[in-house]
Amino acid sequence: MPYELFIGARTYSSWSLRGWLMFDPFDLPVKTRMLNLYGGDLPAELAAHGLAPARLVPAMRTPEGLVLGETLAMAEHLAEAHPGAGLWPAAPAARAAARWLVAEMHAGFAALRAACPMQVLGQYQDFEVSAAVAADLARLDQLFAYAETQRNADGPWIFGTWSLADAFYAPVALRIAGYGLPVSDRLAAYTAAMLAHPSIRRWRALALTEVFDAPAPYAQPLPLGPWPGPALTKS
Ligand SMILES: N[C@@H](CCC(=O)N[C@@H](CS)C(=O)NCC(=O)O)C(=O)O
């Protein structure tokens, strides 16, 4: 039995995407199961699949039957179980910095998350960036600049090669894309790399098959333009 990963709507569920990005880019086999994020009683649905006390998505079950219902625990468990898969950066300083960034993502960026719910349908036009969102974007750039000083490898990802840090920051890149947020060259390049990543493209292709009852979740009162190609993010 491979890992089982229980997720919500691919179109909107940023945490589900984080969970999936702990598997797919590392070639860790996983069976993905879709739950109804908007059914009204997610904890009961999770319990019906034997996942109590998990109450949010993603949740996962390991091949040994261990249930985990928080992304940080999932990340650490997978890194421990697959030491050769490179989930965390190999060098201790980079690994510690990656844990810092992941923890700050897990706990922070409240303004950006609230103002720009993740969606992969298109790019909202004319989104007005509040001071709080601008401050979150500035903090993001500061953290990425710091990560660059801890890198041991070249590449487009936060620590050079893809790591769990990128799994946690991917939804932020998709928010930059989905709302046309004005960002530094560093963040624009990261967003472009993320839009081109095969796992992200696969995730979005499946998201586009999803159908939701009207009104669509998280719809913004703004025109929705096409999903940006890598060259279309603003800087
Ligand atoms: N801290 C959790 C966050 C998970 C989370 O907020 N998931 C959302 C979907 S993106 C959810 O399950 N929402 C359903 C609800 O709040 O009832 C983690 O790291 O796994």
Residues 204 and 121 reside in one and the same domain: yes
Residues 41 and 110 reside in one and the same domain: no
131-150 and 164-179 are packed helices; what angle lies between their axes, rounded to 10 degrees? Answer: 140
In a mutational test of the pocket of ligand 1, which residue from 15, 113, 174 has the highest number of ligand atoms less than 8 Å from its CB?
15
Question: How far apart, in whole angstroms, are the C-alpha atoms of residue 227 and residue 121?
Answer: 6
Digit-coded pLDDT (tens) for 170-191: 999 999 999 999 999 999 999 9
Amino acid identity for residue 215 in this structure: P
Residues 133 and 100 reside in one and the same domain: yes
Q: How crowded is the C-beta side of 20, counted as CA atoms within 13 Å?
A: 25
Instruction: Quote the ligand 1 centre to 51 CA distance (angstroms).
Output: 14
Identify whether 87 is part of a domain. Answer: no
Lowest average pLDDT, out of 75-89, 92-106, 121-135, 213-227, goes to 213-227
Question: How far apart, in whole angstroms, are the C-alpha atoms of residue 184 and residue 94?
Answer: 23
Q: How many domains does the chain have?
A: 2
Identify whether 86 is part of a domain. Answer: no
Closest ligand 1 atom to 42 CA: 17
Identify whether 134 is part of a domain. Answer: yes
Q: How many CB atoms lie within 10 A of CB 120?
A: 22
Q: What is the pLDDT of residue 230?
A: 64
Does the pLDDT at position 59 exceed 50?
yes
Residues 146 and 74 reside in one and the same domain: no
Q: Mean pLDDT for the chain?
A: 95
Lowest average pLDDT, out of 10-24, 83-97, 127-141, 218-232, goes to 218-232
Measured by CA distance, the residue closest to atom 19 of ligand 1 is 71
Digit-coded pLDDT (tens) for 206-215: 999 999 988 8
Q: What is the CATH number of the domain that holds 13?
A: 3.40.30.10
Does the pLDDT at position 57 exceed 60?
yes
Q: What is the pLDDT of residue 188?
A: 97
Q: Which residues are CB-neighbours of 122 under 8 A, at least 6 positions away?
A: 178, 224, 225, 226, 227
Q: What is the pLDDT of residue 215?
A: 84
Residues 122 and 187 reside in one and the same domain: yes
Q: What is the pLDDT of residue 235?
A: 44
Does the pLDDT at position 70 exceed 90?
yes
Residues 75 and 108 reside in one and the same domain: no
Residues 122 and 70 reside in one and the same domain: no
Q: Which domain holds residue 111?
A: 92-232
Question: How far apart, in whole angstroms, are the C-alpha atoms of residue 50 and residue 67?
Answer: 8
Helix (H) or strand (E) run with residue 176 in it:
helix 164-179
